[in-house]
Amino acid sequence: MNQTPTHHTEPSRLFESRAARLRNDSLSTATAVYQWEFSDAPGEDCYLSTSSDQPPRVHRGRHPAPTTRLSISLRDHLLLLSGQQDPLTTFTTGRLRLSDGQGNPLPFPAVQRLLLLLLVEWHVTPESIAAIEASGRKLDNVTEIQRVKDLSREEFERHFASCGQPVIVEGPVKRWRASSFTPHTLRDTFGELPMSIFVRPASTEPAPQTARPTASQERTTSGRTYVQMTLREYIDTVLLNPPPLAPGELPPYLTANSLDASLMELIEYPPFFRPEAFIRPKLWLGPSGTVSHVHRDLIDNFLAQVWGRKHLRLFSPDQSRFLYPRRVDGNPFYEASDVDVSAPDFEKFPELRHARHIDCELRPGEMIFLPAGWWHYVRALDMSFSVNFFAVNQTPRVLTSRGAQHSGGNAEA
């Protein structure tokens, strides 16, 4: 990884923003003590106490009877809070242990909730979703997605981030080392990396079935099926030799795999937010014809295109009422839509007729800013390599800008 966490060297400061967040969460009314135990720096241990009659508070040291213990190295904790490591990966690789006061492991749903509540900055609530829909730029005022060659941080903030307006920035990705790679050099250099490939949508999703590669292990997450294979196998059996597709089938798609440290050397963070705002960037790789069905992320996001073109259909956040949104278990930052925009069924989804959209094409070297709450449908027009950046460690800018009419989100730390 090319960045070392430098901000927030005083660990207790790290918790102040969590304490601020807990003030808005139902957990804050429960009496609880969250004890952080740093394996490599016990002198820095902290705990966060919440109770019904006092605001959440951060204390140094050890509490005699904590309700929850988080054991982690201080280094991992800094990497985690600076967005250079994912909370879930840190947990599943055993580098973060979560237990009750007696040291018993917590059930997984409790773990997921705690990870989101305590270890990432942005916290979605029904009020913050409503605020995003009310504050974001509406399509009435946008007839095409603006393209710019150069954009300073200030211009980005003033004209796009703070008003929740997408923009395509031409060129920055051409400077990445990734742009000098071909499918063959990518395979020969990074071929042994394990990858997870999306092969089958959940039965509740409107998406067509996906052609099946031959791979042994299957995994199901939120009803969707993935298979595991190395990057080499994916490049050889899908990217360079796309399998024959039955009518309506889609190619298997390498979606949203967190970048391995070795791949981090190939990319650069979007220069518009502090790098700590982002969780680990995600890799998307596939032949022409892959599709991501209409969904939205309740997080500011950048999608960067290394190879190939992608067609995007965008709907502004206020169009939700026409798109039949559906929450997906286990991911509060994500909402799917029940409609299939490539084969709209107006009988079943009559409101869809009223939805306004805007189309654009993302080309190699370009990066699009997708503000929190913008619905998007993405189809690869060519063999494609993309990387995306979710700014989970900050409140969507449309909610923190001075001009925001509503502020249903949390204040930024």
The residues that touch ligand AKG, with contacts defined as CB under 6 A, are 284, 292, 297, 301, 303, 310, 376, 378, 386, 388
Smaller CB distance to ligand AKG: residue 37 or 297? 297
Smaller CB distance to ligand AKG: residue 28 or 301? 301
Least gap, CB of 262 to ligand AKG (angstroms): 22
Q: For the residues of 346-395, what is the DSSP string, one character each? A: TTT-GGGGG---EEEEE-TT-EEEE-TT-EEEEEESSSEEEEEEE-TTS-
Can you tell me the distance from the alpha carbon of 305 to that of 386, in angstroms, rounded to the nearest whole number? 5
Least gap, CB of 303 to ligand AKG (angstroms): 4
Least gap, CB of 32 to ligand AKG (angstroms): 34
Can you tell me the distance from the alpha carbon of 129 to that of 124, in angstroms, rounded to the nearest whole number? 7
Least gap, CB of 377 to ligand AKG (angstroms): 9
Q: Name the one residue in this structure whose structure tokens are 């089958």.
A: 200
Smaller CB distance to ligand AKG: residue 274 or 313? 313
Smaller CB distance to ligand AKG: residue 32 or 387? 387
- Which long-range contacts (C-beta less than 8 Å, at least 24 apart) are formed by 87-90? 87/115, 87/116, 87/119, 87/120, 88/112, 88/115, 89/258, 89/280
Least gap, CB of 403 to ligand AKG (angstroms): 25
- Three-class HEC string of 128-143: HHHHHHHHCCCHHHCC
What length is written for the chain? 413
Smaller CB distance to ligand AKG: residue 46 or 285? 285
Least gap, CB of 54 to ligand AKG (angstroms): 39
Least gap, CB of 132 to ligand AKG (angstroms): 15
Can you tell me the distance from the alpha carbon of 301 to that of 280, in angstroms, rounded to the nearest whole number? 12
Smaller CB distance to ligand AKG: residue 138 or 311? 311
The secondary element (H helix, E strand) that includes residue 227 is: strand 224-230
Can you tell me the distance from the alpha carbon of 86 to that of 84, in angstroms, rounded to the nearest whole number? 7
Neighbours of 106 (CB within 10 A): 16
Smaller CB distance to ligand AKG: residue 15 or 369? 369
**Rounded-to-10 torsion of CA 220, 297, 86, 20:** -130
